[in-house]
Amino acid sequence: QVQLQESGPGLVKPSETLSLTCAVSGYSINSGYYWGWIRQPPGKGLEWIGSIYHSGNIYYNPSLKSRVTISVDTSKNQFSLKLSSVTAADTAVFYCARVRYSYGYPIWFDPWGQGTLVTVSS
């Protein structure tokens, strides 16, 4: 059974870089899926951030591309997110998920991690 678990600081100061890691268990990160990040501001909807393949192929949401870096560590079966120059508008629950791609298109997310709230505040 695939399980994902996010970890990282729950509080980040404005203008700093948010860093999160997603540990994958019960499934090898090398086994043919992409792995992605999605965020949800409190009381609001979902926003896809980006996805990465074990080979390092990466897709980013164009609206966040300039501030996002996603990386993968196959030896630890985990992947990571960095979001730079954060503001209060970046306060959200961040989820990691396994991502299905078809012909280079992201098409669904399953399963999801439980999510971690990151607050941007001084």
Partner 1 sequence: QSALTQPPSASGSPGQSVTISCTGTSSDVGGYNYVSWYQQRPGKAPKLMIYEVSYRPSGVPDRFSGSKSGNTASLTVSGLQAEDEADYYCSSYVGSNNLLFGGGTKLTVL
Q: Which residues bind partner 1 (CB under 8 A)?
A: 45-48, 59, 61-63, 95, 100, 102, 104-115
Pick between residue 33 and residue 109 the one whose CB is nearest to partner 1.
Answer: 109
As given in the structure block, the two tokens for residue 42 are 């409190």
Rounded to a whole number of angstroms, the minimum distance from the CB of residue 96 to partner 1 is: 10
Strands (E), 1-122: 3-7, 11-12, 18-25, 34-40, 47-52, 58-60, 68-73, 78-83, 92-102, 105-112, 116-120
Pick between residue 3 and residue 17 the one whose CB is nearest to partner 1.
Answer: 3
Pick between residue 61 and residue 77 the one whose CB is nearest to partner 1.
Answer: 61
Question: Which residue type occupies 99?
Answer: V
Rounded to a whole number of angstroms, the minimum distance from the CB of residue 122 to partner 1 is: 27
Helix locations, 38-114, DSSP H: none
Pick between residue 107 and residue 122 the one whose CB is nearest to partner 1.
Answer: 107
- What is each CA distance from 11 to 41, 63, 78, 93, 107, in whole angstroms? 14, 23, 22, 12, 31
Rounded to a whole number of angstroms, the minimum distance from the CB of residue 101 to partner 1 is: 9
Rounded to a whole number of angstroms, the minimum distance from the CB of residue 52 to partner 1 is: 13
